[in-house]
Structure 1
């Protein structure tokens, strides 16, 4: 279980920087080599035949360390999504047992569905150039990718910095909780200023997406790999076809935590059902944390009105930036756009923005 102190210092990122290689002496070393070669392998039309012949090292019966489990999940999750959604070919309807069995094994141990999700694509998929430097663009890179283009690195790394900033956000939540319990308006306002500052900083980072990510390259080269699985049989595990949500920012716990903290009421719709379903793809500790924030008292009546409304406006601007990018990077390229999670996201994002702004104190 992750403590409040860990959330306040690391946000939803791991308490220690992710493991980036198993190492030459490890029984899992072949997965490092496979991960290194994956972008090149995917350029070969024969990749799927090659992948079916791989002999992947299984996990031992006794759980290895959590960093090892996470890296194993990253390597297998990327491989499975690469196999199902290889660009230039039709999506597959079955995942061969040599990949499906170990993927399902590691995902069961991590208490999550057997598909690469936001945690494996972003939260566990980064490293620092300078270990003493910040977790920020310019000092971080990815561990695993689908393609050779830096555009994919940039897409992932923007999210990693946003997650790093969230540590300040969560720390402010805890201070606000204490201030409300004590009826201390001054302390609550100080905490709310930090909430506002952190969210606007996240907006600033998100707006950097176009600096190094081309819309056409995103849509055509690496977005297909994080697409949902539709009616896929996991051979050697279950004969019944499964549907799994693809990697999406809706699986990040940052915005749901902010919504829970501010107690923003979203009317029950297919959208709220979808957002609730996205929690299944979050790490178990993050799901528990969201329940913890939902149980916090409301700050709306005690906080300074201007600060509370500014927090709502910052969140609405974050969602608006996301919506604008969804239109530029996805909707313009297809007649009936669906998110990688398989959802009508344009309509839903608009609803979230409107309901967020409607909650302002007048």
Structure 2
């Protein structure tokens, strides 16, 4: 399936046995999950890495303390871990395996660099400085795997910490949440009931529902680009069907997201969070990190793992043409979108260009149509499009509001550290995007006469907008409160 007016292929058959293809390719079936289940165990060439990762967590699968419990990982890496760069190159044509190696080396690199910060954290001390030098036995393999897979040579949300870091306890039971387990963990995540496992696996459960988001997106774009649809009425029916599919998927994603509260406790998050910080815009790494043998010895800086690197909400932003404010916070948003699989990045760009090129938003809102004669059936079809469009935006708002609530309860109330794991300012960054979508909803609702008049959208849409008005006021008060408490600017 090809995005209209482009050459980008969205997979329907994910070709799970083809090792020549990247692990991450967008599909209408698995969405933004890897196109086959992640590789769990490394080949025997990498026994040293496999064994080290099993002994690394604060609490291992056996329940015994691991290397990170006593701060011994760094010494072990420095004195006993071999450089397996040649073995990496031997397997370079197997891209899913390269992704597994990228995952595993990124876990080791993050643990190595942030271990001193963790040891201070558990003593109740400030994070202080992390290690600023990554030895060749870690830097060379992770750089090579990242190059082959299209990632940054540091831990990323999709390629390592979350979406390529689950296994099925019983393959026959598939992606049911109760059947998901972590492959790698920093703290207690190998215990499926732990907060670290819950944090990661709820994200997997959410993205499990991204296939219909992709399928609905393709339906909307195809409906506008397809000259073979028999009539304008049939075209809008097909378009609305695509929007309906997206709305259903986003509703499910948000329902799953709400389970985070029960599966990952706010008071537990800051303990394993230490290990997913990045090495840019962080006090622990004021000058970045030198990767031995890489970049001519000059320091490198990368953003840390963050759910903000997920592709679902950016897809909605690009399809619906949500306008973000021209602020430094939006520049951070654009930078975040570089930290995802290269196939995802290209897909999002192509959807944005196609949506704008086809005039998708203008078609959906159909404001110009109101000056012409329309039958009641045509009017109702347009009203339905507008309701669906507003409903999807409302789900995006709901997602971003919940993400803000998570930041408030899991981070702001638990720690005074001023930046999120990805390096964004913790108080103001999420509200920047949340305010933008609420403003978009208000502008659209007013421009189409949603509240009163012959094209009013009805009680359901009015209830949505009443909620938006209340939430906007609440958000402003909360942001002002935390800005004052922490002595930071609101913009």
Q: Give the TM interval when normalised to the shorter protein.
A: over 0.9
**Where does residue 235 of structure 1 map in the other structure?**
292
Q: Is the 8 A contact 2:91 2:97 kept in 1?
A: no
3-state DSSP of counterpart to 2:221: helix
**Where does residue 487 of structure 2 map in the other structure?**
none
Of the candidates 169, 180, 196, which is equivalent to residue 129 of structure 1? 169
Deviation of 1:44 after TM superposition, in Å, equals 1.8
Tell me which moved more, 329-338 or 14-23.
329-338
The answer to whether the aligner puts 1:215 opposite 2:266 as a matched pair is: yes
3-state DSSP of counterpart to 2:36: coil
Provide the C-alpha distance between the structure 2 equivalents of 1:133 and 1:169, rounded to a whole number of angstroms: 23
**Where does residue 168 of structure 1 map in the other structure?**
212
Number of aligned residues: 359
3-state DSSP of counterpart to 2:273: helix
The answer to whether the aligner puts 1:55 opposite 2:82 as a matched pair is: yes
**Where does residue 363 of structure 2 map in the other structure?**
302
Of the candidates 244, 254, 263, which is equivalent to residue 203 of structure 1? 254
Deviations 1:126-169 (A, max 9, x none): 11223243423112111111112421111111111111111110
Deviation of 1:346 after TM superposition, in Å, equals 2.8
The answer to whether the aligner puts 1:354 opposite 2:435 as a matched pair is: yes
Provide the C-alpha distance between the structure 1 equivalents of 2:273 and 2:386, rounded to a whole number of angstroms: 41
Provide the C-alpha distance between the structure 2 equivalents of 1:198 and 1:3, rounded to a whole number of angstroms: 18
Deviations 1:159-185 (A, max 9, x none): 111111111100100011112224511
Of the candidates 267, 276, 285, which is equivalent to residue 226 of structure 1? 276
Provide the C-alpha distance between the structure 1 equivalents of 2:423 and 2:319, rounded to a whole number of angstroms: 27
Structure 1 runs, 4 residues or longer, greater than 6 Å off: none
Greater Rg, structure 1 or structure 2? 2
Please tell me the root mean square deviation across aligned C-alpha atoms, in Å. 1.7
Q: Is the 8 A contact 1:247 1:341 kept in 2?
A: yes
Provide the C-alpha distance between the structure 1 equivalents of 2:307 and 2:109, rounded to a whole number of angstroms: 19
**Where does residue 392 of structure 2 map in the other structure?**
311
Tell me which moved more, 191-200 or 54-63.
54-63
- More contact order relative to length (CA 8 Å, sep ≥ 6): 1
Provide the C-alpha distance between the structure 1 equivalents of 2:82 and 2:354, rounded to a whole number of angstroms: 48
Deviation of 1:46 after TM superposition, in Å, equals 2.5
Structure 1 residues 136 and 264, CA, compared in 2 at 3 Å: closer, same or farther? farther
**Where does residue 94 of structure 2 map in the other structure?**
65
Deviations 1:270-318 (A, max 9, x none): 2221122123221111111111111223433433111100100000000
Deviation of 1:112 after TM superposition, in Å, equals 2.1
Provide the C-alpha distance between the structure 1 equivalents of 2:239 and 2:439, rounded to a whole number of angstroms: 22
Extract unaligned runs of 5+ from structure 1. none
Provide the C-alpha distance between the structure 2 equivalents of 1:136 and 1:227, rounded to a whole number of angstroms: 29
**Where does residue 36 of structure 1 map in the other structure?**
54
Structure 1 residues 56 and 41, CA, compared in 2 at 3 Å: closer, same or farther? farther
Tell me which moved more, 291-300 or 245-254.
291-300
Tell me which moved more, 141-150 or 52-61.
52-61
TM-score (norm 1): 0.94
Q: Is the 8 A contact 2:106 2:155 kept in 1?
A: yes
3-state DSSP of counterpart to 1:9: coil
Extract unaligned runs of 5+ from structure 2. 1-7, 15-26, 58-65, 121-128, 227-231, 280-284, 365-384, 446-491
Of the candidates 88, 91, 113, which is equivalent to residue 130 of structure 2? 91
Q: Is the 8 A contact 2:31 2:214 kept in 1?
A: yes
